[in-house]
Structure 1
């Protein structure tokens, strides 16, 4: 979902068609996830299950607001009912406390930095 939103802003589109933007999710930067994998591989941990996540939730509407600030313009959001799930989970987040406790691995990149970097990527 975030790549779609960012690509619309990068293309300077004036509108975007999405589903429910009042849902919140735990979005992670792929660079943090890759670092967590390395931290796990370099640790003494064996045969454990971990949540690789940021530990923070952000609504899609807040992601759009952040992108509007980064891009310097507002976008019109149209909600397409076909994109809305009937049993949508309002808030879905992860708990990375076990990963932190066992490896010291924690996210270092904020959602703001991730969005900024995606928008300005070559």
Structure 2
């Protein structure tokens, strides 16, 4: 039995190589969830997604993330809508202090959700 700690685009490459030495029945992967976010009401787990895409045989092996042959048409359509609305082109990043505050709020929400299931005292 072998266990891999995974995170990032290196994991699928490592697992491809490990498949030569270990059978799937002997392999356990613990996925990174430190980069998980809630985006537009959806829970996004990029490292878990990458592992699932690889296991399903649809991982884009040129970028090592996302789905092979994904057209990204939705992203292009949203950029067109933003342009038509007069919004600036390209990504709009929050200042660092607001990014940090957002992370603190996200962590607080995650911990408060966990606390609902705990009995303290």
Same-fold call, TM > 0.5?
no
Q: Greater relative contact order: 1 or 2 (C-alpha under 8 angstroms, separation 6 or more)?
A: 1
Find the structure with the greater CA-based Rg.
2
Structure 2 length as normaliser, TM-score? 0.25
Q: Normalized against structure 1, the TM-score is what?
A: 0.25
